[in-house]
Amino acid sequence: MAMPSPLPENLAELIAARFRLLSEPMRLRIIDRLRRDEAGVGELAAELGTSQQNVSKHLQTLYSAGVVERRREGNSVIYSLGDAGMVEMCDQVCGGMERHLGDLTSTLETIRRS
Amino acid sequence: MAMPSPLPENLAELIAARFRLLSEPMRLRIIDRLRRDEAGVGELAAELGTSQQNVSKHLQTLYSAGVVERRREGNSVIYSLGDAGMVEMCDQVCGGMERHLGDLTSTLETIRRS
DNA sequence: CGAGAAGACAACCGGTCGGTTGTATTCTCC
DNA sequence: GGAGAATACAACCGACCGGTTGTCTTCTCG
């Protein structure tokens, strides 16, 4: 897919919003967990070591963006990944970091430059 | 590249920081502009319709993360892209949006769900 | 050397957002 | 129907961050 050039402001905002979804560690960890298997809110909260409310809030964000699907099962709500593209992006950014000579080097580099 | 699972907190933060770089419209527009050709700070500011200070600040951010290279040329400082992976990520997120039935539909969907 | 151009740096402000706390809603089971 | 479990919703707070304003440094050129 070709990006229009110069990138219009409104399109830039749409793309930025997409990246912003993945710019929070907790959301990345939720996606990573759902990548292996669907799960309920309480289950996610327990495994990720945070509150039910926090997980619920992030799941709302991801659901509004279409990243995640949900389905009611008895008293629970089961969430699962609904957008394979997001997982691909996670993998790609990992590749990008590998290209930067590993996490440690990248981190040290950031510190050195700041 | 395989992602470790479950995703450790510190690695999640590194990845999130990477995505956060691309989560701002102005930074995306700077990258998009540099994609075609290298440019100086004032040049970028004029073309993108913002202040010299603002562009300079964003360029510092991108430089610290290794996304952008710089070189002195007389009285100017010329910036250019130094990380091809970032451009690939921009293209991929565009593909993801196309998968969502286009920008308009995606936007309407977001509004409807909020 | 003095003037002016180009860019970097610092302080500040207002909005956004992640996390917490408290509560409302919805379902199950007895 | 009542109790309790699972989840969503709302209000709040503190931190972070984008943009602006002001200034300092560095370079060029006459």
Supply the pLDDT for residue A89: 74
Give bridge partners of residue A80 from the DSSP assignment. Answer: A69
Q: Which of B10, B13, B18, B48 to mutate to test the interface with A (most CBs of A within 10 A)?
A: B18
Average pLDDT of A76-92?
83
What is the DSSP-derived secondary structure letter of residue B6? Answer: S
Q: Within 13 Å and on the Cβ side, how many CA atoms surround B65?
A: 23
Contacts of B108 (CB under 8 A, 6+ apart): none
Q: What pLDDT digit, counting tens, does each position of A37-51 carry?
A: 999 999 999 999 999
pLDDT tens-digit readout, A9-24: 888 999 899 999 999 9
Each residue's pLDDT tens digit, A56-74: 999 999 999 999 999 999 9
Give pLDDT tens digits for B63-72. Answer: 999 999 999 9
Averaged pLDDT of chain A: 83
Minimum-distance CB partner of A103 among B11, B23, B90: B11
Residue type (1 letter), A19:
F
Q: At B74, which amino acid appears?
A: G
End-to-end CA distance of chain B: 35
Residue B90 amino acid letter: C
pLDDT-based confidence at residue A103 (cuts at 50, 70, 90): very low
Distance between CA atoms of B15 and A86, rounded to whole angstroms? 13
- Residues of B with Cβ-Cβ distance to A93 under 8 angstroms: 15, 18-19, 85, 89
Residue B99 tokens, joined: 């998968």
